């Protein structure tokens, strides 16, 4: 049985997550502040950490950095909708993934399954990899095997989002919020335009990566 520790100061959220995860068959330990959570992680074995950023005694950022100094345990950050922390910064401080509150429990469960299945994918914070694709977060260059693929800033941000959520369906609304911002007032079809541009750059006859899920959105999933 996999064991998850939830480090969250809001009692209702903490209890809700605990009950849902236990219902899914996970063993769950909780901590209500950063100091307690860090001590538990350092002194016990867990398979994954769910970490709120806004914590008393020790912030989520500090907890994440200190955990990463001693362990490669997957860390999923839970962020408030109005927090503007750059997603690359989350990876830089040692996080493997993030979710913006409020979120659907089904999405969290999917993220947990991916994190547990691909523990080694995020051990090097500079690169995200998926099959023959490798995204360099430092140089902002995408590689397909040894071929260098140049991306515009928006293309990079979109593909980064897809890589971070690989094999998870992301809605157009979610993509617009994460890549174009909450205050974007343009046509949501701009997402389709950029998806098509990415497909032309990264796909060929043998390798197909970006799938359209009708009525929902897009997912990065190999069809090669």
Of 218, 216, 98, 101, the C-alpha closest to 162 is: 218
Peptide bond into 201 cis (omega under 30): no
- Residue 89: the pLDDT is 72
Same domain as 153, residue 44: no
Same domain as 11, residue 110: yes
Of 199, 47, 45, the C-alpha closest to 119 is: 47
Tens-place pLDDT, residues 184-197: 777 888 999 999 99
Same domain as 145, residue 54: no
| Stated length of the chain | 224
Question: What tokens were used for 6?
Answer: 């939830």
Question: What tokens were used for 149?
Answer: 């693929």
Residue 85 has pLDDT above 90, yes or no: no
Q: How confident is the model at residue 115 (pLDDT cuts 50, 70, 90)?
A: confident
Tens-place pLDDT, residues 88-103: 677 777 888 888 888 8
Split into its structural domains, the chain has a count of 2
- Residue 33: the pLDDT is 95
Residue 123 has pLDDT above 50, yes or no: no
Domain containing residue 171: 127-220
Tens-place pLDDT, residues 33-61: 999 999 999 888 889 999 998 899 999 98
Listed residues 58, 87, 122: the one ending a domain: 122
Residue pair 46/35 in contact by the 8 Å Cβ criterion: no
Q: What proportion of the chain, given as a percentage, has pLDDT over 70?
A: 92
Cα–Cα separations (whole angstroms), residue 145 to 38, 131, 132: 39, 9, 5
Residue pair 4/29 in contact by the 8 Å Cβ criterion: yes
Same domain as 203, residue 190: yes
Residue 172 has pLDDT above 70, yes or no: yes
Phi, psi of 10 (to 5 degrees): -80, 115
CATH label of the domain that carries residue 56: 3.40.50.2300
Query: CA-to-CA distance for 18 and 11, rounded, in angstroms?
Result: 10
- Residue 220: the pLDDT is 93
Listed residues 100, 122, 144: the one ending a domain: 122
Residue 175 has pLDDT above 70, yes or no: yes
Same domain as 108, residue 59: yes
| pLDDT, mean of residues 109-133 | 75
- Residue 88: the pLDDT is 66
Q: What proportion of the chain, given as a percentage, has pLDDT over 90?
A: 45
- Residue 121: the pLDDT is 47
DSSP output for 167-221: TS-EEHHHHIIIII-TT--S-TTHHHHHHHHHHHHH--SS---EEEETTTEEEE-
Same domain as 83, residue 20: yes
CATH label of the domain that carries residue 154: 1.10.10.10
Tens-place pLDDT, residues 63-78: 999 998 888 889 999 8
Question: Cβ contacts of residue 175 below 8 Å, gap of 6+?
Answer: 158, 161, 191, 217, 218
């Amino acid at each position: 049985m996999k064991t998850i520790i939830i480090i969250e100061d809001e009692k209702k959220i903490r209890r809700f997550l605990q009950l849902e995860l236990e219902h899914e068959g996970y063993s769950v330990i909780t901590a209500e502040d950063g100091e307690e959570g860090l001590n538990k992680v350092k002194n016990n074995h867990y398979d994954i950490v769910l970490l709120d950023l806004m914590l008393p005694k020790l912030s989520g950022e500090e907890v994440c950095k200190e955990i990463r100094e001693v362990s490669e345990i997957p860390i999923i950050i839970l962020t408030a909708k109005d927090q503007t922390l750059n997603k690359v910064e989350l990876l830089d401080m040692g996080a493997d993934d993030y979710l913006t509150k409020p979120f659907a429990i089904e999405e969290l469960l999917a993220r947990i399954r991916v994190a547990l299945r691909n523990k080694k994918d995020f051990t090097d914070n500079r690169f995200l990899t998926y099959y023959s694709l490798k995204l360099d977060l430092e140089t902002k260059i995408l590689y397909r095997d040894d071929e260098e693929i140049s991306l515009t800033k928006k293309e990079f941000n979109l593909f980064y989002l897809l890589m971070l959520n690989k094999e998870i369906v992301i809605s157009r609304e979610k993509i617009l919020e994460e890549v174009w911002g909450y205050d974007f007032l343009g046509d949501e079809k701009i997402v389709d335009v950029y998806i098509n541009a990415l497909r032309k750059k990264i796909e060929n006859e043998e390798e197909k990566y970006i799938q359209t899920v009708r009525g929902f959105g897009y997912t990065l999933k190999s069809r090669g």
